[in-house]
Amino acid sequence: MELYSTIKQLCLCPSVSGRENKIRQLLSSLVEPFCDELSVDKLGNLIALKKGTGGGKRIMLAAHMDEIGFMVTFIEDNGMLRVAPVGGISFVGAAYSRVISESGVKGTIVPNAKTKPEDYKSDCFYIDIGASSKKQADAMVGIGDFFVVEPHLQKLKGGRVCGRPLDDRVGCAVLLGIAENLSECVLKDDIYYVFTVQEEVGCRGALPSAFAIAPDMALCFDVTATGDVPDASPMACRLGGGAAVKIKDASVICDELITSRLSEIAESKKIKYQREVLLRGGTDTSSMQLSGSGASVGALSIPTRYIHSPNEMCELSDAQACIDLATEFILSI
């Protein structure tokens, strides 16, 4: 698996929360060669199982496959589309971005003419698809249709990439890389690779999937913020610093034994890593931890700048470090 090509392929497949069909189909085709069983649960989570020889643990590895976006709520007489956010939208960052709908209708998201940036809110924005009347717009879109910022990805200097939605297609690519690494390994443990839905609207998909799997141990893969840009809040994570071993975020405190073991393996195998303490925000890690009677859960994060903006940025070496560290962690069990 060539990491950049995989991430780009995943990024160029728009799939907003609640409408993950396209990305699920793509991920199914990519993960199928590395697993024994594929299934989709009632909520839409994709679950790929690599069966163990028996007598081992049930290990769940998860990354979310949905992305933030916009839902059409009203069509004006002049053909403009009023929208509501799906997930955590920064409208300052989204202003004047190119957007595309599920069916391929293109447009741009724009604030009302006299609205100042400090007053940007969802009800001040509309999508202009070029229609000159409600009748024209009705023929192209409907109430409840979804839009996302137009996907793209490009290489930058030093192995860095910029585009969207790296949150969390880069995590999905990491999961695929782990599955490929372990595909020929004979393990006692059952490994469940889970691509979850609706993380961006409340970490919903991970909870029922973890409840059904009842893992003895779980790892979550997602992006995390960095402290390496001007005026950033103090944070130890940076691009190029390696896999970020999560200690805590605003929703979870990770299992101490898993966290310590990940750090020990990284040091012994000379895999570049850093420790993550995220003061705001959360991931599927918390849902997995609290499912059923509870689970021992850790997380590996990919440091990413400008999260939830039209141009997120990460470094491929950090994603590769997550693949390498998680692979060694599973083999050590």
CB 193 within 8 A of CB 274: no
Cα separation, 197 vs 126, in Å, equals 26
Do 298 and 207 sit in the same domain of this protein? Answer: yes
- pLDDT for 146: 96
Do 44 and 136 sit in the same domain of this protein? Answer: no
199 is catalytic: yes
What is the domain-level CATH number for residue 25?
A: 3.40.630.10
Could you tell me how far CA 226 lies from the centroid of its own chain? 16
- pLDDT for 300: 98
CB 107 within 8 A of CB 127: yes
Q: Among residues 20, 67, 150, 199, which one is catalytic?
A: 199
CB 277 within 8 A of CB 247: yes
CB 268 within 8 A of CB 280: no
Do 173 and 276 sit in the same domain of this protein? Answer: yes
Cα separation, 32 vs 210, in Å, equals 20
- Decide which of 86, 119, 149 is a domain's last residue: 149
Instruction: Determine, yes or no, domain membership for 41.
Output: yes
**pTM of the model as a whole:** 0.94
* Mean pLDDT per 10-residue section of the chain, whose length is 333 residues: 94 95 97 97 97 93 97 96 94 94 95 91 94 96 96 95 96 98 95 97 92 95 94 91 95 94 97 94 90 91 95 97 98 91
Nearest Cα residue to 196 out of 208, 211, 213, 179 = 208
Cα distances from 223 to residues 63, 118, 128, 302, in angstroms, run 10, 27, 31, 5
Do 318 and 283 sit in the same domain of this protein? Answer: yes
Q: Name 156's Cβ contacts closer than 8 Å, sequence gap at least 6.
A: 162, 313
Cα distances from 7 to residues 113, 154, 293, 331, in angstroms, run 36, 10, 35, 25
Instruction: Determine, yes or no, domain membership for 190.
Output: yes
- Decide which of 118, 149, 180 is a domain's last residue: 149
What is the domain-level CATH number for residue 97?
A: 2.40.30.40
Do 53 and 186 sit in the same domain of this protein? Answer: yes
Do 279 and 220 sit in the same domain of this protein? Answer: yes
Instruction: Give the orientation angle of helix 3-11 with respect to helix 166-182, to 10 degrees.
Output: 130
Q: Taking CA 174 as the corner, what is the angle to CA 171 and CA 177, rounded to the nearest 5 degrees?
A: 155
- pLDDT for 257: 95
Cα distances from 331 to residues 32, 221, 254, 285, 318, in angstroms, run 21, 18, 20, 21, 20
Instruction: Give residue 238's identity as a one-letter amino acid code.
Output: R
The total number of structural domains in the chain stands at 2
Domain of residue 260, residue span: 3-67+165-332
